[in-house]
Chain A
Amino acid sequence: MAAVVTASGPPARASSSKTESYVDNKRRDDVRRANIVAACAVADAVRTSLGPKGMDKMIASASGEVIITNDGATILNKMEVLQPAAKMLVDLSRSQDAAAGDGTTTVVVLAGSLLRRSLSLLSAGIHPTVVSDALHRLSVRAVDVLHGMAIPLDLSDRDSLVKSAATSLNSKVVSQYSSLLAPLAVDAVLSVVDPAHPDLVDLRDVKIVKKLGGTVDDTELVRGLVFDKKVSHAAGGPTRVENAKIAVIQFQISPPKTDIEQSIVVSDYTQMDRILREERNYILGMVKKIKATGCNVLLIQKSILRDAVTDLSLHYLAKAKILVVKDVERDEIEFITKTLNCLPIANIEHFREEKLGFADLVEEVSVGDGKIVKITGIKNMGRTTTVLVRGSNQLVIDEAERSLHDALCVVRCLVNKRFLIAGGGAPEIEMSRQLGAWAKELQGMESYCVKEFAEALEVIPYTLAENAGLKPIAIVTELRNRHAQGEINTGINVRKGQITNILEENVVQPLLVSTSAITLATECVRMILKIDDIITVR
């Protein structure tokens, strides 16, 4: 107790060393340690899937379903972790998925590394809140460093967009198709950007339809609508309509049914006949009304209460040369009406021409073992788009969809925040270097913590190199050296297995992915650090 504080208001800094020592009882330490160890275990589980040469995981779910994926968020979601702190890491990757869509593995690996360093800081007797505050300052500073490295991007620069989408796709199962999927993702996102709100993209406007058969090569972007459904042509109706006038209807073309329970009492044979005739007339009347408006394509919403169409009505519709697609989900109605620029019709009485949508061509196309319905050449098409994903088996299709989602998210990030940053571990090394230098300017415990955490950031290039079968230590030290000489865009070129200027290799990623990874990871680690007890409650 050297600096006994006198009553006359001591200088605040002089006694600061006391704040930062931490004496705690054994149990609380154990709880914290258990939390950190559990969280690190989760991080280790996904570590090997980081980077372009990362490995995939096979997940067998309880229901016997098998998933093969490389996507951190998916792996963690399917792992049924129980330990509360480990659960927080799972949530962390989910938030990264929501915020940026990509970098879900990176964020977890980063958090694991930071936690491991915190453990050694804690055992050195530093108070958790000091560690946590240092981490906060570090994250603010790290984001500044990243902003300093960022390269502004213009949305008309399609090449750069494609490059960053390709970087994201390179680490996936479908990496060999990145040259096809990357431009596709860029076009899909750019086509839904609303000029009125240029920085907002709603990915719900991009619909992904999966269809088994063919290879991923056959994946295509469709400017229009695709239904994973057959045309209902039991009665020989048309399967191809040009100059289509399309109606989206929310009622059914089948014999009437009331909400109140009803039964038709038939007492003799002639009545039976009459009922059949009436039914025919009723349906015929409806079909005639539809035909009168010039409509030749019907999309019918699914109904659980009664059949959307019956054989009889199909027959009449076929006669009237109307193409019918039935069982459209209610959730999809909004997307469809937005695309077709039409209005849904809920009652036959409201069937009017102005509610119809127009398209050049509606046709049924057979792909693989199934058939799909395509609507193309839509007049006044809304800002939506559809991607038809193909693949040789269900596992590949699912993984292709997840990868495409990541790529779409990457492009969306770029639309939101128009900056690019180098990939291949370059930003992490640069952050580590600059923060390490900054730590030397700080004082006391804070400096010690920041230095430790700055080193923790090197885990990303280290793991990248490790997964690619390179010598991690040699690579990381070489990187450090090159960055110290001012080559801030040097990173690991996994394909060539050496260190190069990563920008020239076209390995780029959106700034938002990196910033959100660092802020989310630090926020999560700080939360875990502050916990000193687990209480079981009702």
Chain B
Amino acid sequence: MAVERLLKDDATEEKGDRARMASFVGAMAIADVVKTTLGPKGMDKILQSTGRGRTVTVTNDGATILKSLHIDNPAAKVLVDISKVQDDEVGDGTTSVVVLAGELLREAEKMVNAKIHPMTIIAGYRMAAECARNILLQKAMDNKQDPEKFTSDLMNIAMTTLSSKILSQDKEHFAKLAVDAVLRLKGSTNLDAIQIIKKAGGSLKDSFLDEGFILDKKIGIGQPKCIENAKILVANTAMDTDKVKIYGARVRVDSMARVAEIEGAEKEKMREKVQKIIAHGINCFVNRQLIYNFPEELFADAGILAIEHADFDGIERLALVTGGEIASTFDNPESVKLGHCKLIEEIMIGEDKLIHFSGVEMGQACTIVLRGASSHVLDEAERSLHDALCVLSQTVNDSRVLLGGGWPEMVMAKEVDELARKTPGKKAHAIEAFSRALQAIPTIIADNAGLDGAELISQLRAEHHKERTNAGIDVISGGVGDMEKLGISESFKVKQAVLLSATEAAEMILRVDEIVTCAPRKREDRM
């Protein structure tokens, strides 16, 4: 008690064992929350918002669950962050990464209790992770040269990703949608060009992929409903009179005729603007802001299709896919880039009318229209499809694939075990622990499916002791199966990211020996 007060009032400090314990417990609790969603027989969670409207989300997506949790534990926040990063980087494996980190910490806790220094554990984990990564690199298959095989790889990956989601019943249909959409991108990972539109009604099977772009808007009254070889001007401009935006601007006149003249002048100004727009030689005009009755009629007279009040996201995407630019001044028709497409027409999906742009400039673009029973189903379907699209677009670039169903974990565990045997010193314990943590993932998958995890893992291990095996957990039949025959594949990039970021996160939390919680900032409203 030599130091009096080091910290401010309300700031707290936890040291040594207590601090470490707090972070272990926090991290493991988070891992346990999402643990049951892992694997094809994982369960869903209801997220009930405490905010206004008390909206309800039903999801199976680790990242979605984690990012909406209330968290007050610093270590738990680290795990939420890695799941977020995983989501941004590769899009899938968000649950696996958290569960693996949780398991690594669970093992670490045991070792710390057995008086092994955290630094030793970290060193062991690092060696193990390096070794695991190397074996993955060796075992990864690359079918880039063979387009047919590559496509079937993509299909397998998409189906594996989707099988743990709501779309699992129609996974073949959606896997095909996702693969088609991603192959259109021709290697770019810019998912902006894939538009997902959700329309309630029908069933999930009615979802389809559409070449081109769909805008959820209506065509103005009295305007053509169908245009071929459209020249599109995308704009963000106010179509009413350009009001002087100075407060209190007003005119003083001395007769009614003058007022009528001013009104006429305002109308004239609108007309001029419309004339300028028409002078671009366009036959379709899309504005983000309102187009009022008067300009609408002018456009209708000129036979131009005018769409008003398109949402921001919509016009940016429209500009992107049609190759145009968003314009806001119309004085130099030469400098404005117009968008082009072959055909604009009105289509009907379910009960709603939408505008369909086909044959757009950017050939990569396409739209996936999702149909489903309710908004919950649609939202969850969108999240699942997004995961699949992310993974596929990553795989197109890095075409290495691995088998799924716990196969990579078992391969890594085997290799790491061998390393442990060769390594002298306490580090060997940590390496062994790493292998146990890896094996925990197939165990959880099996447990979630109501299988006897311990039993299956021992069978798998025995199977993997042989050379070149494809054994993994076949959740559907409930035994050990040949992953290659079952067509269960995963992307190498996802697995590698899971391995590396989980190890790093675990390492980071292990290094902590003190938690300082700063005093909350005081509200100064009573001054």
A129 touches B41 (CB 8 A): yes
The stretch of A155-163, A172-180, A487-495, A518-526 in contact with B is A518-526
Q: A100 — nearest CB in chain B belongs to which residue?
A: B201
Q: Which of B60, B68, B293 contacts A344 (CB 8 A)?
A: B293
A92 touches B373 (CB 8 A): yes
- Could you say which residues of chain A place their CB within 8 Å of the CB of B477? 12-13, 15-16, 19
- Could you say which residues of chain B place their CB within 8 Å of the CB of A28? 36, 43
The minimal Cβ–Cβ distance linking B182 to chain A, given in whole angstroms, is 27
Q: Which of B46, B51, B249 contacts A84 (CB 8 A)?
A: B46
- B302 at interface (Cβ–Cβ under 8 A)? no
- B462 at interface (Cβ–Cβ under 8 A)? yes
- Could you say which residues of chain A place their CB within 8 Å of the CB of B480? 5, 7, 9-10
- B116 at interface (Cβ–Cβ under 8 A)? no
Which residues of A458-500 have CB atoms within 8 Å of chain B's CB atoms?
none
- A504 at interface (Cβ–Cβ under 8 A)? no
- Could you say which residues of chain A place their CB within 8 Å of the CB of B69? 535, 537
- Could you say which residues of chain B place their CB within 8 Å of the CB of A419? none
B455 touches A1 (CB 8 A): yes
- Could you say which residues of chain B place their CB within 8 Å of the CB of A261? 248-251
The minimal Cβ–Cβ distance linking B202 to chain A, given in whole angstroms, is 7
- A398 at interface (Cβ–Cβ under 8 A)? no
The minimal Cβ–Cβ distance linking B69 to chain A, given in whole angstroms, is 6
B200 touches A95 (CB 8 A): yes
B45 touches A532 (CB 8 A): yes
- B329 at interface (Cβ–Cβ under 8 A)? no
Q: Which of A82, A136, A260, A278 contacts B250 (CB 8 A)?
A: A260
Cα A279 to Cα B256 in complex, Å, equals: 6
A524 touches B374 (CB 8 A): yes
- Could you say which residues of chain B place their CB within 8 Å of the CB of A535? 33, 45-48, 65, 68-69
Q: A90 — nearest CB in chain B belongs to which residue?
A: B374
The stretch of A65-73, A263-271, A432-440 in contact with B is A263-271
Which residues of A77-96 have CB atoms within 8 Å of chain B's CB atoms?
82, 84-85, 87-88, 91-92, 94-95
The minimal Cβ–Cβ distance linking A396 to chain B, given in whole angstroms, is 28
- Could you say which residues of chain B place their CB within 8 Å of the CB of A87? 56
- Could you say which residues of chain A place their CB within 8 Å of the CB of B48? 84, 534-537
The stretch of B185-193, B227-235, B259-267 in contact with A is B259-267
- Could you say which residues of chain A place their CB within 8 Å of the CB of B50? 536-538
- A345 at interface (Cβ–Cβ under 8 A)? yes
- A350 at interface (Cβ–Cβ under 8 A)? yes
The minimal Cβ–Cβ distance linking A104 to chain B, given in whole angstroms, is 13
B293 touches A346 (CB 8 A): yes
A20 touches B450 (CB 8 A): yes
Q: B466 — nearest CB in chain A belongs to which residue?
A: A7
B479 touches A262 (CB 8 A): no
**A531 in contact with B252 given A7-B462, A523-B373 (CB within 8 Å):** no
Cα A301 to Cα B293 in complex, Å, equals: 10
The minimal Cβ–Cβ distance linking B85 to chain A, given in whole angstroms, is 20
A19 touches B475 (CB 8 A): yes
Q: Which of A94, A265, A279 contacts B253 (CB 8 A)?
A: A265
Q: B222 — nearest CB in chain A belongs to which residue?
A: A343
- A506 at interface (Cβ–Cβ under 8 A)? no
Cα A479 to Cα B203 in complex, Å, equals: 31
Interface size on B, residues (CB 8 A): 82
Cα A440 to Cα B259 in complex, Å, equals: 86
Which residues of A1-58 have CB atoms within 8 Å of chain B's CB atoms?
1, 4-5, 7, 9-10, 12-13, 15-23, 28, 35
Which residues of A213-271 have CB atoms within 8 Å of chain B's CB atoms?
250-251, 255-267, 271
Q: A262 — nearest CB in chain B belongs to which residue?
A: B251
Q: B205 — nearest CB in chain A belongs to which residue?
A: A519
Which residues of B40-89 have CB atoms within 8 Å of chain A's CB atoms?
41, 43-51, 54, 56, 58, 60, 65, 68-70
- Could you say which residues of chain A place their CB within 8 Å of the CB of B375? 91
Q: B45 — nearest CB in chain A belongs to which residue?
A: A533
B221 touches A337 (CB 8 A): yes
The minimal Cβ–Cβ distance linking A533 to chain B, given in whole angstroms, is 5
Cα A344 to Cα B452 in complex, Å, equals: 72
The minimal Cβ–Cβ distance linking A230 to chain B, given in whole angstroms, is 24
- A275 at interface (Cβ–Cβ under 8 A)? yes
A350 touches B450 (CB 8 A): no
A193-215 interface mask toward B, CB cutoff 8 Å, 1 = contact, 0 = none? 00001001011000000000000
Cα A532 to Cα B267 in complex, Å, equals: 62
Cα A146 to Cα B346 in complex, Å, equals: 34
A19 touches B451 (CB 8 A): yes
Cα A375 to Cα B33 in complex, Å, equals: 64
- B314 at interface (Cβ–Cβ under 8 A)? no
B479 touches A5 (CB 8 A): yes
- Could you say which residues of chain B place their CB within 8 Å of the CB of A531? 43-46, 58
- A288 at interface (Cβ–Cβ under 8 A)? no
B288-327 interface mask toward A, CB cutoff 8 Å, 1 = contact, 0 = none? 0000111011001100000000000000000000000000
Q: Which of A10, A84, A88, A128 contacts B43 (CB 8 A)?
A: A128
- B8 at interface (Cβ–Cβ under 8 A)? no
Q: Which among B33, B222, B452 has the greatest number of chain A C-beta atoms within 10 A?
A: B222
- Could you say which residues of chain B place their CB within 8 Å of the CB of A20? 450, 478
Cα A345 to Cα B251 in complex, Å, equals: 28
The minimal Cβ–Cβ distance linking A411 to chain B, given in whole angstroms, is 15
Q: Which among B69, B350, B376 has the greatest number of chain A C-beta atoms within 10 A?
A: B376
- A316 at interface (Cβ–Cβ under 8 A)? no
- A395 at interface (Cβ–Cβ under 8 A)? no
- Could you say which residues of chain B place their CB within 8 Å of the CB of A333? 221
A346 touches B250 (CB 8 A): no
The minimal Cβ–Cβ distance linking A293 to chain B, given in whole angstroms, is 16
The minimal Cβ–Cβ distance linking A87 to chain B, given in whole angstroms, is 5
The minimal Cβ–Cβ distance linking A117 to chain B, given in whole angstroms, is 19
A95-121 interface mask toward B, CB cutoff 8 Å, 1 = contact, 0 = none? 100110000000000000000000000
Q: B64 — nearest CB in chain A belongs to which residue?
A: A537
- B476 at interface (Cβ–Cβ under 8 A)? yes
- A63 at interface (Cβ–Cβ under 8 A)? no
Cα A343 to Cα B224 in complex, Å, equals: 13
A350 touches B297 (CB 8 A): yes
Cα A533 to Cα B375 in complex, Å, equals: 20
Which residues of A109-166 have CB atoms within 8 Å of chain B's CB atoms?
127-130, 136
Cα A263 to Cα B58 in complex, Å, equals: 58
- B415 at interface (Cβ–Cβ under 8 A)? no
B47 touches A537 (CB 8 A): yes
B256 touches A264 (CB 8 A): yes
Q: Which of B36, B43, B244, B255 contacts A260 (CB 8 A)?
A: B244
- B463 at interface (Cβ–Cβ under 8 A)? yes
- A347 at interface (Cβ–Cβ under 8 A)? yes
A259 touches B252 (CB 8 A): no
Known contacts A534-B45, A537-B70; can you find 19 more A-B pairs with CB under 8 A? A7-B463, A12-B477, A13-B477, A18-B452, A98-B201, A127-B450, A203-B351, A251-B293, A258-B262, A259-B241, A260-B250, A263-B252, A267-B254, A346-B294, A347-B267, A520-B373, A527-B44, A532-B44, A532-B45
26 contacts between A and B (CB under 8 A): A7-B463, A21-B450, A28-B36, A35-B46, A84-B56, A88-B58, A92-B374, A95-B200, A127-B449, A130-B450, A202-B353, A251-B293, A257-B259, A259-B240, A259-B243, A260-B266, A264-B254, A264-B258, A282-B256, A301-B293, A344-B222, A519-B373, A520-B373, A523-B203, A530-B43, A536-B49
Interfacial residues, chain B to chain A (CB-CB below 8 A): 33, 36, 41, 43-51, 54, 56, 58, 60, 65, 68-70, 166, 169, 200-203, 221-222, 240-241, 243-244, 248-260, 262-263, 266-267, 292-294, 296-297, 300-301, 348, 350-351, 353, 373-377, 449-452, 455, 459, 462-463, 474-482
CB-based closest 6 A-B pairs: A12-B477, A19-B478, A537-B68, A278-B256, A532-B43, A261-B250
